[in-house]
Structure 1
Amino acid sequence: MAGPKAFTAIADHYRQAILTGDLVSGEKLPTNREMCQRWNVAAATVSRALNQLAVEGLIRTSPRGTFVADDATVTAAGPDRLSMVQRLRSSLMEGETSRVTAAELVVPPLYVQDIFNLDPGDQLVRREFVVGRGKTRTMLVVTWHPAHFAAQVPDLLSTAPGKNAGLTSKILEATGRSITHARDDMHARECDAREASALGLRLGAPVLGGVHRWSDDEGVIEFGLWVVPTRVAIGYQYDA
């Protein structure tokens, strides 16, 4: 591999492996020489890729080599989480935990009603949970699902530990639906009081806010809103 995109491809490869858990905390990466041989690039290109991962807090270096950071302050966006659902039946990355703070049937805000094409007064399932890695809270998430899913997947209305990570897979299995369309949107803004409390931030602290929409030809299966603090890195790979 050669050209200006080579270091990006190398960084993307190892970033993806770390985010999905193929490389776990403390695991040693190949040597720089091995990377040069594998990717057919110069040493400077490998160094540039590793420097980028170090800036993101994903790796650490020592005289013994390069290792995945012990407590990398990273999280994943929609593409990687959807890939995890499809491959491993879990929406959480390796080393992540989640604490569900709400799971209920409610009448949603007007903009969410429009997304699901609801009539006034119709309900949806609303779930709220905090994602963490170790003692670090990395993401606040709210997901919305069609109300009739709750009858097919009762765990949607449960806040019990251990039932959150695989819910999307349970929905797909119970309903026979398949996620064929996905979209993410992100924007930087200031956090509100609820977000600040959940993530341990000061009110008005800068955050990255995002939404994901997973659907098929029948309609929206999951609409999610999430917030990530500035100290947390987020990224995903895509084909150019």
Structure 2
Amino acid sequence: MPGGFAEYAVADVAFAVRLPSDVDPSTMVPVMCASVTAYCAIRRADLTAGERLAVDGCGGLGLYALQIATRMGVHMLAVDRNPAKLDHARRYGAAEVAVAGERLEQNLAANPGYHPGINSAPIPATWSAIVASIRPRGRIAASALMSEPVPLIQEWLTATGVAITGTGVGTRQEMREIVAMHARQPLLNPIEQIYLSRATDALVALEEGKAGGRFVIRY
């Protein structure tokens, strides 16, 4: 049906995923979007236990990626320009945090020891840092939607052999897996429940970068 907000929607059962009855529905809403996107990015990055992961951008996607990777026994670096988001990243399992800024790229380039990197921020500025952080033969998974060009030198790509892949929301099977993971141990993220009458306010906050977490519309 037209529009993005409705009390009911009709879906083909082949594309629906059964939700656990004993899990708070409000926590499931972002799991079905941001969380499965982060899970898909981790899978596309071929992340394995014992590796070092750099996550650029600690909004919804990044914070979910950190939690999923924590359960895999991965050493993680979280990068964001917002110190409050980095506080969440520490609580969710990041071993290291770094504030995006002038010296970040140089500091990372001095010891580019991360196997994969996940780009979760929809701005080109994060790419210089993520490129600097990746070791030779590493991997980058781009999960943020961004329409602008990003800084990338093909000579660096050829010399390092780094593999870059894009990743979308995820498959039905990946959604089933992340729902099961959340049911076993909830994936956390700041959630603000609002009524439909405040949907426009929420969209404005998102556009202005003032959202404190994930908005969940309740009826």
Q: TM-score range by the shorter chain?
A: under 0.3
TM-score normalised by length of structure 2 = 0.22
TM-score normalised by length of structure 1 = 0.21
Please identify which structure carries the higher strand content: 1
Please identify which structure carries the higher helix content: 2
Flag the structure with larger Rg.
1
